[in-house]
A and B are shown apart, each in its own frame.
Chain A
Amino acid sequence: MSESEHVQEIETIVSKAAQAAAVFTQYDQAQVDRIARAVYEAGFNHRVPLAKLAHAETGLGKWQDKVLKNVVATQLVYEDIKDLPTVGIVHEDHRAGIVEIACPMGPILAIIPVTNPTSTVLFKILIALKTRNPIIISPSKKARKCSIETARLCYEAALKEDAPEDCVQWVEPASREQTQHLMCHPRIALILATGGTGLVHSAYSSGTPALGVGAGNVPVFVERTADLAFTVEQILISKTFDYGTICASEQAIIAEQCVAGELIAQFQRRQGYFLSKAEVAQLENVAFDRTKGLMNAEIVGQSAEVIAKQAGLQVPLGTQLLLAPLEGVGKDHPLSSEILAPILAFYTAKDFEHAVDLCIELNFHGGIGHTVSIFSNDEAKIKQFAGLMNAGRIVVNTPSSQGAVGGIFNTLSPSLTLGCGTGGKNITTDNITARHLLNIQRIARRRMNISFTSFDQDAYLDETLDAHAIETAYHRNT
């Protein structure tokens, strides 16, 4: 397709989305809820073939774990939002005189990552249609087929419940310029940008409102009161899940010295392999691209054994995790960076303060605002630790991947788009869900502020009266 044909295609798609948005404004809650239910069922019922399709097309992760991602994106997300009022009056406070009305935003452009190419599509379509927003799916080039097939399934299900035509569309921009063109289009209401920092930056720079994500570099603090066998089991559940492709997966273990020995033994009992110094260097060459300063895309979502083989390492059969003892954090220690594979950096800390210092360094080394993890049974230490981190999610005694995504190991809103706050150059630290896709309008009825109206406002003109004097008079109850 030529450049001008691409531009014309984009104009047509956006125009259809605008029409769908207009038609959607007429739908009531019952109609919307029937559509949401239909999309959830269609996605859930196809969770296995879609997961297999994603695995076959991308070669990343494990299809069985992708099934669970699809379950989270459909069943758990649906359970979370099914009773959420998203049409018309959603809240009334008669005393305050405020009525809140939920309105759709308009056409949403949804960027889909290669790591979760079907689950993210399911998730975004479900929350978009629940809030009467048409959605345009922009798949990753490396996962085009499975993402489009997922979108097609959802769209057909929605149409059967009389959803507006073109409420779900997909587009295949062939170049960054075309993606940019779409992002900047004046009729796109919102960009849901789940992807790398470059893409998220483009979304926020486009002039269109955006909800993006950030990179993770999750430190896991194993505090001295942690149950160590339990800790290792939870970390394994998370870090081997889909071979480590979730951005909220653990990246580094920081163990207090007094428990480090036993923790290492627990990992070794469960097919965790600790690398020697020389082996760490071998692994660095394969896992990290020093010219780009990023993890090597070739090892993303590959098993520990496959990666070990690529690095020329002899590891026991059945090895699930490669653990690299490190002394520092930063570009001289490449494995201290985010690596979406079953590789973990391992640090031994003298004490609580040293451990927290290391966690802060890791947190700030490419993971600001995302997620941190702690295993501990000391409430005071947990709160102290949390207060010193910069993370939207501080998961406690749970697997980090599933914990951050929410809905399984805690009561966070299940989501496949995790905000990282301003540190991560996002606008929120929330787990993005249907609530974020509404424009809430408020009727504000006359309710006089008696303190203000009964106060002698000439007093404000008297510059000798300070805040204390004014406050005293303002709050007189006579």
Chain B
Amino acid sequence: MLEFQEKDGKLVCVFKGALNTEACWEVEKELYAKIGAGGQAVIFDLQGVDFVASAFLRICLTAYKKVGGDNFYIVNLRPGVKRVFKISGFDQGLNIVD
């Protein structure tokens, strides 16, 4: 469900599968501990994600606040997931990169 990689000094969080509420509970603790620790820029890679629940939108918001707006990116959103960010308005504040 979640793997961590280092790339050019950035922490890349690679998510996979359906990020429903239960899945989000499972990864939250470890995720926040990791992204708080290093003070690096953080990238959420959602290439392998086919579903996001509201809980994941909250995770993105929390990560954005923890890391700082200029150091947080969300990349490789599939169209269905990108639409969720668009409809919910979450694409407005977060750095979403194709």
Contacts and interface: CB of A to CB of B under 8 A. Distances in A.
Given A20-B54, A26-B80, A165 B87 contact: no
B9 interface: no
B88 interface: yes
B51 A18 contact: no
B87 A164 contact: no
Contact of A22 (B20, B21, B55, B84): B84
Given A162-B20, A165-B21, A23 B89 contact: no
A420 B51 CA distance: 41
Nearest to A167: B54
B14 interface: no
A21 interface: yes
B15 interface: no
Interface in B58-91: 80-81, 83-90
A22 B53 contact: no
B46 interface: no
Contacts of B90: 19, 22
A15 B89 contact: yes
Contacts of B83: 22, 25
B interface, over-half SS: helix
B42 interface: no
A166 interface: yes
A19 B20 contact: no
Which of B53, B83, B86 gathers the greatest number of chain A CB atoms within 10 Å? Answer: B53
B51 to A, nearest CB: 5
Interface string A18-35: 111111011000000000
B56 to A, nearest CB: 9
A165 B80 CA distance: 18
Interface string B1-21: 000000000000000000011
A131 to B, nearest CB: 15
Contact of B54 (A25, A166, A187): A166
Nearest to A165: B54
B43 interface: no
A22 B80 contact: no
Given A25-B80, A162-B20, A165-B21, A18 B53 contact: no
Contacts of B85: 22
Nearest to A166: B54
A19 B57 contact: yes
Interface size class of B (residues with CB under 8 A): 10 to 19
Nearest to B56: A23
B80 A23 contact: no
Given A26-B51, A164-B54, A165-B55, A21 B87 contact: yes
Nearest to B88: A22
B88 A164 contact: no
A18 B20 contact: no
B41 to A, nearest CB: 26
B84 A26 contact: yes
A22 B55 CA distance: 12
B54 A21 contact: no
Given A164-B54, A165-B54, A166-B54, A19 B88 contact: yes
Interface string A74-110: 0000000000000000000000000000000010000
Contact of A25 (B20, B53, B87, B89): B87
A15 B88 CA distance: 8
A18 B54 contact: no
Interface string A306-326: 000000000000000000000
A126 to B, nearest CB: 21
Given A162-B20, A165-B21, A25 B84 contact: yes
A15 B89 CA distance: 9
Contact of B84 (A23, A106, A166, A187): A23
A21 B80 CA distance: 13
Nearest to B89: A18
A13 to B, nearest CB: 14
Nearest to B54: A165
A22 B87 contact: yes
A371 B52 CA distance: 46
Which of A20, A22, A162 gathers the greatest number of chain B CB atoms within 10 Å? Answer: A22
A165 to B, nearest CB: 4
Which of B51, B80, B84 gathers the greatest number of chain A CB atoms within 10 Å? Answer: B84
Nearest to B55: A165
Interface of A: 15-16, 18-23, 25-26, 106, 162, 164-166, 187
Given A15-B89, A25-B84, A165-B54, 19 more contacts: A18-B88, A19-B54, A21-B87, A22-B84, A22-B85, A22-B87, A22-B88, A22-B90, A23-B53, A23-B54, A25-B87, A26-B51, A26-B52, A26-B81, A165-B21, A165-B53, A165-B55, A166-B54, A187-B89
5 contacts: A23-B52, A23-B84, A25-B80, A162-B20, A164-B53
Please list the 9 inter-chain residue pairs (A to B) with the smallest Cβ-Cβ separation, ordered nearest first.
A22-B88, A22-B87, A22-B84, A165-B54, A19-B88, A19-B54, A26-B51, A18-B88, A23-B54
